[in-house]
Amino acid sequence: MSADYILDTKDNEKIRISTFGEENYSSGRIIIHVHGFKGFKDWGFNPYIARYFAKNGYYVITFNFSHNGIGEDPLNFTELEKFAENTYSREVNELAELIEAVKSGFFGEIESPRIGVIGHSRGGVASLINGEKYSEIKAVSTWAAISKLDRYSERQKEEWKIQGYFEVVNTRTNQVMRLNYSLMEDIENNQTGLLSLEKAVKNLNKPLLIVHGEQDLAVPVKEGETLYNWSDKNKSELFIIKNTGHTFGAVHPFTGANESLDLLLDKTKRFFDEHLS
């Protein structure tokens, strides 16, 4: 069984949520899936992933960040102004609000939830930072996650600051999507505080599974290695899947599973089975 919710945030934005495995909620075993840059809860493999974990006994929460560009239309980027205004800090804070919603009974009363978080790509940032913060999060898995927030050359940043925005092309939709300079300001202003990913990983103090595709062109595998180097080796594992890239062979619209995706899901399931039981 699945259900849809809307969570109103403290700054009057909306987080659109789809949950899977309603029958598993009382078990207290919850997985939150956090999408990445230009991602959304209904992209490609995300519903398939959610159903997979639901079939294996988990209550799964998928959601759209309020400024990911997706509004009432679940499959198309119709809120490009919000997309331009998004920041890492907003995503960290919104995931925190979602976790607080679980704790406060938004999805139903539950005693002592045991939460596992999966962060794909940029979603790994909010996942790791909140993973270090919340005791209810018992384990974290990152999939093709970034290790550095500032991903721009000095020339790009100079032009970005002068123009006020930076443009990226969505190769799937051919949309030109702007990122306001406020994103760069957020990174610079919070890199040693809220957005210190290195500090979050070093202080995580709970099981961490880092999965990366060997042929990832969007986020090189060395970034997964960096996360692992920061981590407590007694509680972490770096799992590299050969012959696959950033989305582990999945595309949008979803065309079905493949060997790499099956390996990813089996590895992550066994990880959560061990640490959320």
**pLDDT digits over 89-134, tens only?**
999 999 999 999 999 999 999 989 999 999 999 999 999 999 999 9
Determine whether 215 is exposed, middle or buried from the number of CB atoms within 10 Å of its CB (0-12, 13-18, 19+). middle
Confidence at residue 139, expressed as pLDDT on a 0 to 100 scale: 98
Percent of the chain exceeding pLDDT 90 equals 99
CB atoms within 10 A of CB 18: 20
Q: How far apart are CA 273 and CA 30, in angstroms?
A: 11
Confidence at residue 23, expressed as pLDDT on a 0 to 100 scale: 97
pLDDT over 90 (residue 78):
yes
Where along the chain do its domains lie?
A: 2-151+196-275
If phi > 0 it is left, if psi is from -120 to 50 it is alpha, else beta; for residue 73 that is: beta
pTM of the complete model beyond 0.95: yes
Percent of the chain exceeding pLDDT 70 equals 100
Q: How far apart are CA 59 and CA 102, in angstroms?
A: 11
Q: How far apart are CA 227 and CA 143, in angstroms?
A: 11
Phi, then psi, of 66 in degrees rounded to 5: -60, -25
Question: Can you name the CATH fold of 2-151+196-275?
Answer: Rossmann fold (3.40.50)
Confidence at residue 64, expressed as pLDDT on a 0 to 100 scale: 99
Confidence of residue 251 (pLDDT cuts 50, 70, 90): very high
pLDDT over 90 (residue 1):
no
